[in-house]
């Protein structure tokens, strides 16, 4: 997604939203979902670090062992950040073009955008809302969805993903967004979220696009609320659990 106007990035990289009128802050949907274990990312980081070490063996062998360790520890972060930055840019481009505000496309994003244009041409979504922030006063969270559109006659909440895979936890993200109570703008004005009939992921890759349905919305939302409680425990309770030695 793009950088939401109401979101504030914390020093630890997490994201909180601040309500323009009340000053209330709540964690973002994606920040809450970081409590979910993603073992595939551990394997990815290990493989990338190993590949970096093999590809740069000669140069690393000349470095001080301490510096060599620091380089290897952060090797996968550069790739992850590049991927995140590319995903953010693709989201911004998709939002601009969907709003009939065409902007220049760089060569590095051309493949993704060609596929997005193919989606627009083949599916012909009727956009209702794009890049809008939702707020849950009941459960204290906020988030920003990519777009809501009428697709095949049904109001559909769609999340754009540009990574290699599509994972079940995306169902929790979409469910949390559609179950929030209201939309909120930069002035703090609130209004109802369009009633969503289905969820989907638009998976964009440089040479393909797929609109993938996402099911079990109610079960996903129940699971998201469990993750919300764990996030609360980690950040609000855990720091005070262990006392000083008596």
Domain presence at residue 245? no
Domain presence at residue 183? yes
Which one, of 176, 182, 181, 180, lies nearest residue 225 by Cα? 176
pLDDT tens per residue across all 246 residues of the chain: 556 778 887 777 778 999 999 999 999 999 999 998 766 656 656 777 777 777 787 777 777 777 777 777 776 666 555 666 677 889 899 999 888 888 888 888 899 999 999 999 999 999 999 999 999 999 999 999 999 999 999 999 999 999 888 999 999 999 999 999 999 999 999 999 999 999 999 999 999 999 999 999 999 999 999 999 999 999 999 999 999 998
pLDDT attached to residue 80:
57
Regarding pTM above 0.85, the answer is no
Cα within 13 Å of Cα(61), Cβ side: 5
Which residue in this structure is represented by tokens 């041409």?
Answer: 121
Domain presence at residue 86? yes
Task: Quote the longest CA-to-CA distance of the chain.
Answer: 69
Domain presence at residue 1? no
Domain presence at residue 246? no
Domain presence at residue 41? yes
pLDDT attached to residue 136:
97
Phi/psi for 39 (5° steps) reads: -60, -25
Domain count, the chain: 1
Domain presence at residue 28? yes
At 245 the three-state DSSP class reads coil
Domain residues for 111?
7-240
Domain presence at residue 118? yes
Q: Please enumerate in sequence order all residues whose Cβ is within 8 A of that of 75, keeping only pairs 6 or more positions apart, or say none.
A: 48, 49, 52, 53
pLDDT attached to residue 6:
86
């Amino acid at each position: 997604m793009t950088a939401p106007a109401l979101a504030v990035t914390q020093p630890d990289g997490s994201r909180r939203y601040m309500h323009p009128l009340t000053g209330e802050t709540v964690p973002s949907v994606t920040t809450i979902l970081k409590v979910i274990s993603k073992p595939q990312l551990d394997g990815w980081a290990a493989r990338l670090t190993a590949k970096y070490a093999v590809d740069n063996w000669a140069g690393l062998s000349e470095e001080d062992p301490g510096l060599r360790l620091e380089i290897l520890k952060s090797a996968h972060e550069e790739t992850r950040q590049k991927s995140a930055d590319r995903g953010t840019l693709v989201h911004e481009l998709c939002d601009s073009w969907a709003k009939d505000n065409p902007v220049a496309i760089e060569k590095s994003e051309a493949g993704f955008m060609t596929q997005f244009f193919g989606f627009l041409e083949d599916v012909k979504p009727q956009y209702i809302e794009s890049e809008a922030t939702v707020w849950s006063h009941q459960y204290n969270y906020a988030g920003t969805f990519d777009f809501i559109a009428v697709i095949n006659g049904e109001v559909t909440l769609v999340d754009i993903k540009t990574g290699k895979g599509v994972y079940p936890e995306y169902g929790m993200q979409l469910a949390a967004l559609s179950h929030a109570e209201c939309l909120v703008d930069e002035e703090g004005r609130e209004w109802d979220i369009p009633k969503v009939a289905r969820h989907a992921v638009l998976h964009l890759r440089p040479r393909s696009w797929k609109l993938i349905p996402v099911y079990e919305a109610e079960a996903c939302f129940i699971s998201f609320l469990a993750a919300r409680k764990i996030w609360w425990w980690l950040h609000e309770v855990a720091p005070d659990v262990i006392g000083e030695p008596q």
